[in-house]
Amino acid sequence: MKTQNKKPLLIANWKMNPPSAKEALALAKKVDQGIKNISDVQVVLCPPFVYIPIFHAEKFNFLLGAQNCFWQKQGAFTGEISPAMLKNLGCSHVIIGHSERKNYLSETYEVIRQKVKASLDVGLIPVVCIGEKAQGSPNAKRELELQMQILLADISRTQSSKIVLVYEPEWAISSVKGVQAATPQDCEAAISFMKEVLARKWGEASAKGIHILYGGSVRKENIREFIEKGGADGALVGAASLNAQEFVSLVKESILG
């Protein structure tokens, strides 16, 4: 069984849901009510941009995050949102490099690298997604290491404590047709390797302080296994975070005793 030396971190990625502000606020309040007495888990909710000001005006027990950002502070960049804007609206975290943005919007590793640096520069915690495309690929470790080398290139040892990594195997994302969920063993192998890469870059002590989450079809039924057997320090939760009861149950299941 895993020895838990970090408080589990659960990040809810609502993606492009729900369709109205009324539904978003109602969902947030149900989650908030469900976790109000839980102190052993850190919870971050990442709604669509348009709901962030509404959530910021409320007093919640969870932290507020965003699903993306741009890499410039301001300027002629139609439709983009800067890290500073998110910080000023009360966000503490921002998801960067999610597989859906890579696949649907052609985000490159270089673009993601710039977003990571820009987020850190304003005091946001970047939640950086890393993962291989194909299950069982003989090049999976090389793929993971290459991504980490590029995406973390601008981060110093001192800054390393301000990032969160997500092992997000693209073949296990719940929105992918015909998805096959990863096993805790898949997760453990990948996260162990990621820790080796981090230790080579910043030293073992710094590597141990970094949260590495699992992202990919996480549910209340499997979260404990991914933490206990898979070596994850928490999870980036998609579909399951859109049901308040399911997500609160998932939060409770992540508490190891």
Q: CATH number of the domain that 106 lies in?
A: 3.20.20.70
Residue 184 domain flag = yes
The helix (H) or strand (E) run that includes residue 227 is helix 223-228
Is residue 112 within 8 A of residue 71, CB to CB? The reply is no
Number of structural domains found in the chain: 1
C-alpha to C-alpha distances, 31 to 47, 56, 100, 217, nearest whole angstrom: 13, 15, 25, 19
3-state class (DSSP) for residue 63: strand
Q: What is the pTM of this model?
A: 0.95
pLDDT above 70: residue 177:
no
Residue 188 domain flag = yes
**Phi, then psi, of 245 in degrees rounded to 5:** -65, -45
Residue 1 domain flag = no
Is residue 117 within 8 A of residue 71, CB to CB? The reply is yes
Return the beta strands (E) in 42-101 as ranges. Answer: 42-46, 63-66, 91-96
Q: Mean pLDDT over residues 129-135, rounded?
A: 91
Residue 54 domain flag = yes
Residue 2 domain flag = no
What pLDDT digit, counting tens, does each position of 198-230 carry?
Answer: 999 999 999 999 999 999 889 999 999 999 999
Tell me what pLDDT residue 138 has. Answer: 86
At 76, list the tokens. Answer: 């002629």
Residues known to be catalytic: 98, 168
Can you say how many angstroms the Cα of residue 9 is from the centroid of all Cα atoms in its chain?
A: 9
3-state class (DSSP) for residue 150: helix
**Percent of the chain predicted with pLDDT > 90:** 88
| Structural domain boundaries enclosing 65 | 9-253
Residue 3 domain flag = no
DSSP category for residue 51: G
HSE on the CB side for 37, CA within 13 Å? 1
**Percent of the chain predicted with pLDDT > 70:** 95
Indicate the average pLDDT of the chain. Answer: 94
Tell me what pLDDT residue 3 has. Answer: 46
Residue 139 domain flag = yes
More confident residue, 20 or 5: 20
Residue 4 domain flag = no
d(CA 46, CA 59): 15
pLDDT above 60: residue 176:
no
Tell me what pLDDT residue 254 has. Answer: 96
Banded pLDDT at 5 (limits 50, 70, 90):
low
C-alpha to C-alpha distances, 94 to 136, 143, 230, nearest whole angstrom: 29, 23, 24
